[in-house]
Amino acid sequence: MPLPSLPGLIILDSLGKPIIQTTFRTTPPAFPLLHIGAFNDALSRASEKEGEAGKEGVENVLYVPGAGGKGSALCWKQDGDLRFLCPVNEDLDPLFVFSFLNTFLSILRDYIGDISASRVRDNFDLVYQLLEEMLDSGHPLTTEPNALRDIVLPPSLLNKLLSAAGASSLPGSTTAMPFASPIPWRRPGVRYNNNEVYFDIVEQLEAIVGRNGAVLSGDVWGEVKCQCRLSGTPDLLLTFSNSRLITEPSFHPCIRFQRWTRDRALSFVPPDGHFTLLNYMVAPPPLAPHQVPLQLRPHISIGTNTGSFEIVFVSRAGKTLEDVKLLWPLGEGATSVQASMSSANGPANEKDRTSWGLDPLSKSLEWRIPVLPASASLTLKGTFSSSETHPRTSPAIQITYTMSSSTISGLKVESLKLVGAESYKPFKGVRGSGRGNVEWRW
């Protein structure tokens, strides 16, 4: 079975003009222009129907008709003010394309920081080198950051000065040969004065709650991020106290899969620097109502050109919730909101006080709670006015929050051991956090 291939990649600015593109070696010269035109046409049609907001509704996979009735597909992704286009002219899973786009954007962010049109233009040669190394004749090739740094040097003031002077490096300086390491994701000869490794377990709750408080659907997704600064070639063994919670895992290539299937333990030689070790889904059963760490009791009445509401928000978490935001769309005609809040065991400090009002862009009631103590109860009561005779409010309230001290599922690290030939004792740190996105219907 032939390896999947991508004809190339195109980067457009906010005006739809190409900034940079790879060389399309296997397609006619007009192939990239055809897809740029089709994409800009799709944006124009969406903008004419629904204004600027309509552009966000353009599908991320578009069909592009071609000559002779043979069409092609266009996968695209937006980051900041740039749009990244990847045409596809063969039978190919779109997830393969978006996986490559996400990897490229992650590496590009490591090299130039925040991605913007000005930064891409300022680092044109570097971006082009990355594209050529990561996509070789349409096939994804070198996608490991550590291997790329040996081929494409990250930008620095010294490198720019040397380039302007016509010198490639300082006299007497030595760099590792590309692909000198037998491990693709780790550079050879890494040395640190302080050896340390940190793990972040971040989980995301996605839930829909019905009017009666029953959880209609709920999933918990997680990822384990790592920041590694270890000398030599360390061999690590990471075990969890409740590893059965992990289902549908997606591993970094450094993970030894056989060890995981046998012992439910992660054995690996880590890359140097920051990377994602593991993505996973928390095992069913479905969430019970008490597992959603909040409760909402909305009482809403809609009248002519107006409406009244009383929203009681109760924390059921055993720990503090942070950055809590409730968003209730009031309809296109919403003009103003008048409300007052009362609390029981609510925020005590002035800096933690809540705020609320009408968001003029989304026409939504927005209620922000910076810090919500455990078991706190807040009530927001008020009215809103609308230019519509019969305001068409959303039948659901969106709630987002973060928990900085623990994971949602309770997944914990039991031990981390250095089992290889390296004899030093590294400093180790583990932190858990959770984020929630709950749709509460009323």
pLDDT digits (tens, 9 = 90+) for 44-60: 888 877 665 556 778 89
- Give the per-residue pLDDT at 12: 93
**Residue (of 190, 215, 380) closest to 290 by Cα position:** 215
- Which residue intervals of 336-394 are DSSP H helices? none
**CATH homologous superfamily of 294-403:** Mu homology domain, subdomain B (2.60.40.1170)
State the Cα–Cα distance between residues 272 and 274, nearest whole angstrom.
7
State the Cα–Cα distance between residues 199 and 76, nearest whole angstrom.
32
- Give the per-residue pLDDT at 161: 57
Q: For residues 76 and 95, is the Cβ–Cβ distance under 8 A?
A: no
What fold does the segment set 196-288+408-441 form as a domain?
Immunoglobulin-like (2.60.40)
In the chain, which residues have pLDDT < 50? 158, 169-174, 350
Which is it for strands 196-209 and 215-229: parallel, antiparallel or unpaired? Answer: antiparallel
Count the helix, strand and coil residues of the chain and give each as a percent rounded to the nearest 5.
20, 40, 40
For residue 130, report the phi and psi dihedrals to the nearest 5 degrees: -60, -45
Spatial neighbors of 113 by CB under 8 A, at least 6 apart, are 119
Instruction: Say which amino acid occupies 21.
Output: Q
Share of the chain above pLDDT 90, in %: 45
Q: For residues 218 and 212, is the Cβ–Cβ distance under 8 A?
A: no
State the Cα–Cα distance between residues 137 and 119, nearest whole angstrom.
26
What burial letters (b/e) apply to 184-222, b meaning 16+ CB within 10 Å?
ebbbeebeeeebebebbbbbbbebbbeeeeebeebebbb
Q: Is 363 helix (H, G, I), strand (E, B) or coil?
A: coil
**Look-up: residue for tokens 């950055």?**
323
Q: What is the pLDDT of residues 176-196, one digit of tens each?
A: 555 566 788 888 888 999 999
Return residue ranges of the chain for CATH 3.30.450.60. Answer: 8-155
Return residue ranges of the chain for CATH 2.60.40.1170. Answer: 196-288+408-441, 294-403
- Give the per-residue pLDDT at 330: 92
Q: What is the overall mean pLDDT for the chain?
A: 85
**Residue (of 315, 330, 319, 307) closest to 379 by Cα position:** 315
State the Cα–Cα distance between residues 356 and 327, nearest whole angstrom.
10
Task: Give the DSSP H/E element, type plus range, for residue 368.
Answer: strand 364-372
- Give the per-residue pLDDT at 174: 43
Q: Is 144 helix (H, G, I), strand (E, B) or coil?
A: coil
- Give the per-residue pLDDT at 69: 62
- Give the per-residue pLDDT at 250: 92
Q: For residues 186 and 199, is the Cβ–Cβ distance under 8 A?
A: no
Q: Does the structural domain 8-155 have CATH classification 3.30.450.60?
A: yes
Q: For residues 281 and 247, is the Cβ–Cβ distance under 8 A?
A: yes
